[in-house]
Chain A
């Protein structure tokens, strides 16, 4: 059903007042900026990524693994872009040399190709070692419940009326009812559902002629809508009426999924998702990424959570964490390629983070347990690249940093998730938006993105 017909129908049935946030009518103009947050669920290890400490032997009392060092591999001076230092890949990451080489190239490619517009934020004290709380703190800036996620706030401020305004594939996605959530992670599936009656070669499961002069599915759709109206009129419970009204409206709203598939096809034609991918490995992050970019390109969504798990590496840390980190970076690299292909790379901010960090020493199972310090990575074309803000000590503990330079400074302050989120809000342009007033954060005077 076309939208104008739908609105006429709504007016005729007195249901205009039931239009949910997902109606596009409130959308005044095309979106100019987008936000993607990428959540490494489970608590990643910054020292295995962008805050490496090498063979520091700092915890010989705590662990006999790797002589009590934070990492099982030493720092490599060649793994550097500007101030950004990243981890070398230890042998324990895999017995297979080819796998290690793959991970190594995933790390190198990510930092060298995107380092010119990347800001690494190290030494963020999450104030918790709990998954739920950490996830909430990192993505909302507050330990307690009640604050929407950064991406939810961005969508609420920029495109609350979009059909899939805030795409969430998991992680912390509390919205406080400011905006609707949609989960969209599988490109093939979205492609498939865009036209419910599509079988193949534009044929339907139910017959439809090419010119649609005969369309049996349209008969079904019309009957559905008429029944929904009758059901609403007959409903004797308020909750039932609300649900029916919501269904009626959502079903009639032009979700424009067809556009999404058009752009998805274009992205797929220009970006090879298997270029750096072993076909036997899961690649859900790439699936999520291409759908999100197509949704941005179709003006269906303003922000998104991408989510990938497996970072809770209490056992065999190196063998579990490094391949996961490699795949994470590969996935973000793919996201950036998709954004480039869609012409959105200059208009999108990408933030990467995780619940918290992991201990700066290995446990008896060669794993690493929870540790409150973490890092975040921000990629944006407006940033001067190769810079790091914030710092940890040589044994991976928090330390005060200068509010302007981000370098260690005893007169400064330890960076927290509240500081980072406050700065991110300003950076993505929603700091002054009225929808944020119930959720104040103190930026502590830090200038993370200047």
Chain B
């Protein structure tokens, strides 16, 4: 029984391929135009499948506790890819039992029966669900990707051209710096290397670098010594540290910005530096040239200025010797970054297995801990001398994990590069661990193709070719943009609705991944695919059981909320400058708080309500002082809702506010618009009555606005008070009670579901 179970486990692991893999050949050809027999089902393939595969992968291909789903599986992209996978790895107990015709027939059946239909249609719609309009998606997409509202021209382009126009605008939005920053933010939610930013830990990134390897790591101390330079040095230090801390994530930005393949994230033979961090490593720029200088100083003080753009990152290589190695560092994307290696460190006993676990999770969409098997409860197993190699209960996982762990052997617990060897300071006992490799492929150590000294470069190249990397990438983006993990493989007892939901989603994500790869591995293609997909755009469903998780609105993180405030009101909320407050609102610091809270508690809602009240107070009168009003372009101070003409202006402005703040296009007579109008009227008439009888109330009503709510200052993007307005510009009184009525409406809208979920 145990043996049988183990066989099934291995099916999972290697066709694990099939749970979690895509192919590098992702032409999406399972529709039947490649000369293979898809329709009708290959009968021999069906027989073979039922005989050898169905017990683990399920008769319907949906998987079981012992085997993963084959619907939209990564190697389910062509018969050639899938047949090759089967021939090499299946069935695990006898991998020679199904090769050649057997593998081809089985692959044809799997592609027809479980993947044929799902791969044919474009992934922009789901049956039984409908999408929001292109213009609605435009607004949400610009906010989600670039933290801004669409321009009038963009809106007009989409109104005239529908989805095609939307795609045009998305292409433009994804060239903005805000998008690249958002991309890194999404990836940091997974990799958490922002832990080392200066705002979390002074010199957090720099201190990870060994002083003997990088004697100039704190170059700013020598360049700007003395107490007089304290402030200036602090600025340079922070810029330097943050560039070091972000070097891994900058690879994503670099590839996206330059239309290079996202695979550079794992296989770039260089790192990313800016002017500040280049000095830390004494790294040589790959393409030479000078760093960009800004017109305004980045750091200034004690008579000194630095203008180098902290966002100007360039590919560079460390070629100089380190303490123990000559020839510098064999870069392999983020895999060789000290930030990644320290965020996921190792020990003498762990032997890089945690790093391997993360590699499988982050780059190969495989959760090692979910591999089925009889893992001993006490972690000790059968007390064999070498359980990870000899105890079947351990070997199931370790045969997958340990080759990757071995590939990290030249990188110490602190992320230093020291090649292992008998006389090396970095010892590696290879007798009790699998040799370096990946997915059954062993890393060549010597000869023309030898990779002994640059194992991670080999691993990075293998990952870049591995079909599972496609799905891992789509998964990361999906979670970042939709706010949910993709659905997990349904279990044995899953309902038909859950199974259908999984199949449906798998097919869509599969297509997005294929499109990305076909387009030269451009990550923007995957981002656009997700935004255009029903998982971002769905607005209604007639199959609620199947579509339980459909819908991309998510409770905004503090950073997203701040961006939204800036884009809608023109300034941010000062309370979100403080990390404690951001964490209370469900944020994270990438260190001890590494997970966002997406389901708000009473406390978080209370924060939102406070935000609405404060921001409405500060924004209302201020907006009326602006030459170009953001919020109240159609009305004037003093407009009374009982006056017919004014009422029309108020209605027009309410339509504007509902669109600007909530993304709702409302007709003048719609119930929602009428409700907002009623609130305006209610507060205004109540306020006017107060002013007429001001002696009857305590505190005494006044024509003067509350000090905080007066239009007499600008407010900055981080929420701090800005410059004072010229006296003639100021608006400080409200004897018509129109400003306070608008303030009430604004409070109402800023605390709305559609504002705090996006």
A residues contacting B by CB (< 8 A) are 22, 39, 41-42, 127-131, 133, 143-145, 163-164, 169-171, 180-186, 189-190, 192-194, 196-197, 199, 201, 203-207, 209-211, 213-214, 216-217, 219-220, 223-224, 226-228, 230-231, 236-240, 243-244, 246-247, 250-251, 253, 255, 257, 284, 287, 307-310, 314-316, 363-365, 369-370, 372
Contact = CB atoms under 8 A, between A and B. Distances in A.
Given A217-B747, A369-B413, A193 B610 contact: yes
B675 interface: yes
Contact of A186 (B538, B581, B701, B752): B581
B218 to A, nearest CB: 11
B175 interface: no
Interface in B643-699: 671-672, 675-676, 678-679, 682-683, 686-687, 690, 697-699
B586 A186 contact: no
B583 A170 contact: yes
B201 A203 contact: no
Given A129-B347, A189-B581, A239 B551 contact: yes
B602 interface: yes
A50 to B, nearest CB: 21
A314 B605 contact: no
- The 10 lowest CB-CB distance pairs between A and B, nearest first, are A236-B540, A41-B592, A170-B593, A129-B347, A170-B592, A196-B609, A182-B601, A255-B602, A239-B551, A186-B580
Given A183-B586, A206-B744, A315 B207 contact: yes
A87 B3 CA distance: 54
Given A189-B581, A196-B610, A207-B740, A246 B539 contact: no
Interface string B538-569: 11110010011111010100000000000000
Of A127, A209, A236, A307, most B-chain CB atoms within 10 Å: A236
A205 B601 contact: no
23 contacts: A143-B379, A164-B603, A189-B581, A193-B606, A193-B610, A205-B614, A205-B616, A206-B744, A216-B686, A216-B744, A223-B678, A227-B748, A230-B671, A238-B550, A239-B551, A246-B600, A247-B600, A247-B605, A250-B602, A251-B605, A309-B200, A364-B212, A365-B210
A164 B601 contact: yes
Interface in B185-222: 200-201, 207-208, 210-212
Given A199-B617, A220-B748, A250-B602, 7 more contacts: A171-B592, A183-B583, A190-B603, A203-B699, A206-B613, A219-B682, A237-B550
B252 to A, nearest CB: 22
A184 B207 contact: no
Contacts of B616: 205
Interface string B142-168: 000000000000000000000000000
A55 to B, nearest CB: 24
Contact of B345 (A129, A183, A194, A210): A129
B600 A250 contact: yes
A205 B591 contact: no
B385 interface: no
Contacts of B607: 189, 193
B748 A224 contact: yes
Contacts of B539: 236-237
A314 B414 contact: yes
Given A209-B697, A226-B675, A309 B617 contact: no
Contact of A239 (B550, B575, B672): B550
B591 A309 contact: yes
Contact of A169 (B369, B549, B583): B583
A268 B539 CA distance: 49
A309 B211 contact: no
Contacts of A240: 551, 553
Of B207, B553, B606, most A-chain CB atoms within 10 Å: B606
A39 B593 CA distance: 12
A182 B584 CA distance: 7
Nearest to A40: B592
Contacts of A307: 592-593
Contacts of B747: 205-206, 217, 220
Given A39-B592, A365-B210, A127 B379 contact: yes
Given A203-B699, A216-B683, A185 B583 contact: yes
A186 B575 CA distance: 11
Task: Tell me the interface secondary structure of chain A in the complex.
Answer: loop
Contacts of A192: 575, 610
Nearest to A231: B753
B198 to A, nearest CB: 13
Interface residues of B, number: 86
B345 A370 contact: yes
B354 interface: yes
Contacts of B414: 314, 363, 369
A130 B686 CA distance: 62
Contacts of A364: 210-212
A26 to B, nearest CB: 15
Contacts of B547: 237-238
B39 interface: no
Contacts of A231: 753
A237 B606 contact: no
B584 A183 contact: yes
Contacts of B413: 369-370
B461 interface: no
Contacts of B671: 230
A203 B683 CA distance: 17
Given A127-B379, A129-B345, A309-B592, A183 B354 contact: no
Contacts of A220: 679, 683, 744, 747-748, 751
A209 B701 CA distance: 9
B605 A133 contact: no
Contacts of A251: 605, 609
A310 B369 contact: no
Contacts of A236: 539-541
A205 B706 contact: yes
Contacts of B578: 186, 189
Nearest to A187: B580
Contacts of B601: 22, 163-164, 180-182, 250
A207 B584 contact: no
Interface in B697-740: 697-699, 701, 706, 708-709, 740
A237 B613 contact: no
B350 A219 contact: no
Given A183-B597, A186-B580, A237-B539, A207 B752 contact: no
Nearest to A128: B350
A144 B370 CA distance: 11
Contacts of B540: 236-237
B239 interface: no
Contact of B602 (A145, A164, A228, A287): A164
Contacts of B592: 39, 41-42, 170-171, 307-309
B699 A239 contact: no
B493 interface: no
B630 interface: no
A369 B344 CA distance: 13
Given A130-B350, A223-B679, A189 B706 contact: no
Contacts of B350: 128-130
Contacts of A170: 583, 589, 591-593
Nearest to A162: B602
A437 B222 CA distance: 60
A361 B597 CA distance: 39
A363 B212 CA distance: 12
A262 to B, nearest CB: 16
Contact of A182 (B553, B602, B610, B753): B602
Contacts of A238: 541, 544, 547-548, 550-551
Of B208, B575, B613, most A-chain CB atoms within 10 Å: B613
Nearest to B584: A183
Contacts of B379: 127, 143
B224 interface: no
